[in-house]
Amino acid sequence: MARPKKSTAKSKADPFAALPPLNLNAAGIDVGNAAHCVAVPPDRDPQPVRTFGSFTTDLQRMAQWLKDCGIETVVMESTGVYWIPLYDILETSGFTVFLTNARYVKSLPGRKTDVLDCQWLQKLHTFGLLNNSFRPPDQIRVLRSYLRQRETLVAEAGTCIQRMQKALTEMNVQLANVISDISGVTGLAIIRAIIRGERKPEELLKLKDPRIQATDEQIVESLKGTWRPEQLFVLRQSLELYDVYQEKIGDCDSCIRALLQTFDSQVDPNAKPLPKPKRGKKPHGNAPNFDLRTELYRISGTDLTRIDGIDVVTAQVLISEIGLNMNPWPTEKRFASWLGLCPDNRISGGKILKRSTRHVVNRATTALRMAASTLVRSKSALGSNYRRFQARFGPAKAITAMAHKLARLVYRMLRYGSQYVDKGMQHYETKYRQQRISWLIKQCAEFKMKLVPIT
């Protein structure tokens, strides 16, 4: 008599059996370019997993099906930019949308197929095992889109300037060696005259701005070139493209200004006007063509440009990336950690294996790091603090440490509406000196000694 075959499959206990479900009306979506796979709880529909197209009508049909299934919250991964239209339609339809980082989901066990992935997301979200990513309000998202487009146009305009400088160099017109910026008043005036056909250095010299520090002889010698026709063609087209980009940047500035005027004012109408910019701060060359500092002060209730290292362009990047409401981060430590400016201590066996910060792709983090790097010559308390960090830890760690400090200052100003007051480099150095003396006195007391100043 043949014995019955034993089953080789081992029974595995459900790892979620002991977990209480937190989101009973949850759905998971695997986002794709051409189609989206959606999973709902098995008891909500005879076909709990469905595939919808990426057209607008398909997304609206998906939202209606989720409503019919009694879904209240939806989770999806941030895959490229394909999730943005889906996120907007679901949010408009009244769903609570969770946007999770694909890197965090990848670290959890589970099979990786389109159908099983949406089911896995739905199950993890049901038990509250996924964190929601930060997404600013719609008004801030519109501002961010305008500013990112403006950054792209500014970068393209910078490329045109590089091409103009390359064409001049190949013709041995060394204009860039006698003036600091060929895109300034003098540089563009001379380039436009060259495009019109002027070749005499003496005539081009008449376009010199009084602020140019180079002598007339140096400018005349730099304008003696070979005037090759193919390079003149490149110079002319690069200048035309540069003018086009400047026109488009002006259009972006108009849209940004109109949008900022729709924000609610956080400043008392009877309050004192915004004080003048801090002494020593130069205006940013890529700043918009309107009073952006006053507008940012009006909508935020505080002047971020009072912080040393943060100019008006950096302030607008910070507001467009993090918004005006600091409630998503309960403390300034959480805010600095979200920016990736805190040490990511990885501990195993009681030992710290790694202390470096997390790799975070965030425009706000980049802006704060750039602002921190400008403090190297700042005659302020923050500048003195940066130089002390640089001497102790090196430039890279000093930039991270000062970016962390700037992030804390920005958090306090936006959250509590406080104003930053710089007490000066001398105040900081005196305070640091007193701390060092107190430390030395304690050290001497441990060795039964006394610290006596030299008279």
pLDDT tens digits along 75-95: 999 888 899 999 999 999 999
The answer, yes or no, to whether residue 108 has pLDDT greater than 70, is no
More confident residue, 378 or 2: 378
pTM of the model: 0.83
Lowest-pLDDT range of 14-28, 128-142, 358-372: 14-28
Region 7-32: mean pLDDT is 73
Q: What structural domains and CATH numbers belong to the chain?
A: 26-126 (3.30.420.10), 139-260 (1.10.287), 292-422 (no CATH)
Question: What number of other Cβ atoms are within 10 A of residue 25's Cβ?
Answer: 17
Query: CA-CA distance, 188 to 179, in Å (whole number)?
Result: 11
Q: How far is CA 100 from CA 121, 324, 333, 339, 366, in A?
A: 10, 22, 21, 16, 22
Q: Average the pLDDT over 235-258 and give the result.
A: 95
Q: How far apart are the first and last CA of the chain?
A: 109
Lowest mean pLDDT among 55-69, 150-164, 255-269: 255-269
> What is the pLDDT, as a whole number, of residue 8?
46
Task: Supply the pLDDT for residue 22.
Answer: 86
Residue with tokens 């009508």: 57
The per-residue pLDDT for range 249-290, each reduced to its tens digit, is 999 999 999 999 999 988 887 777 777 776 656 666 788 888
Residues 319-332 have pLDDT tens digits of: 999 999 999 999 99
Instruction: Please give the pLDDT value at position 130.
Output: 87
Q: Range with the lowest mean pLDDT among 54-63, 79-88, 122-131, 342-351?
A: 342-351
- Residue 396 has a pLDDT of 92
Q: How confident is the model at residue 16 (pLDDT cuts 50, 70, 90)?
A: low
Question: In whole numbers, what is the pLDDT of the chain averaged over residues?
Answer: 88
Q: Which of 7-16, 54-63, 173-182 has the lowest mean pLDDT?
A: 7-16
- Least confident piece of the model among 32-36, 85-89, 350-354, 376-380: 350-354
Name the strands in the sheet holding 96-100, side by side, starting at the edge strand that comes first in the sequence: 49-53, 35-39, 26-30, 73-77, 96-100
Of 164, 264, 178, 157, the closest CA to residue 221 belongs to: 178
Per-residue model confidence (pLDDT) at position 10: 47
